[in-house]
A and B are shown apart, each in its own frame.
Chain A
């Protein structure tokens, strides 16, 4: 099992550009979570999906953020337009009926 796969590992972009972060969950896991980690706010839940359906997006900071899960093996988190305050590490995690949550390696986003 390759685990949860996120891409890219690092992204540097200019303010105003669109950024797309990608996540491939573990096969068979029916829950997918997107978290953001910053020094100031720690790990925050942005949105999560169950069987590809968004369940709770109350953590999405504003309309510039959107997330999709078109199928069981792929999810995207898009920021358009990006701002310097969006700089953070973005984690994707997946889980199944047991108690475990597996995190991806994260995407470090820098907006300049």
Chain B
């Protein structure tokens, strides 16, 4: 079974609009970490935001916020005020046991296209 599910292969949004990228996860661990990465067409993996399973507040980093709903096992990424430069592939990832030495498990990704 997939540990990380991203059900939206592609999303389209206009500049300045907000967009939500969905991510659900499956784990039996109580302690885990959730990550979002951006991969532009140039190919590098850029870290965006992190949420620990015990964090009470939703994580925010500038225009990025993570809508963490623990009971639903969802960790959606919200991008406010989209910009053309946000066009990229976005990956949700999880680290079980939430320790530095645990590998990230990635979802299949969502391609975001921002138009003017």
Which A residues are within 8 Å of any B CB, using their own CB? 31, 33, 35, 42-43, 45, 48, 50, 55-56, 89, 91, 93, 95-103, 105-106, 108
Bound Cα distance from A68 to B43, whole angstroms = 25
Query: Which 5 residue pairs spanning A and B have beta carbons closest together?
Result: A103-B45, A43-B106, A42-B108, A45-B103, A97-B100
Please report the total number of B residues contacting A with Cβ < 8 Å. Answer: 21
B85 at the interface (CB under 8 A from A): no
Pick the residue among B33, B105, B108 that contacts A99 (CB under 8 A): B33
Q: Which residues of A contact B78 (CB under 8 A)?
A: none
B50 at the interface (CB under 8 A from A): yes
Minimal beta-carbon separation of B15 from chain A (angstroms): 28
Q: Provided the pairs A42-B106, A42-B109 are in contact, do residues A99 and B52 lie with their beta carbons within 8 angstroms?
A: yes
Asked if residues A103 and B44 are in contact (CB atoms below 8 Å), the reply is: yes
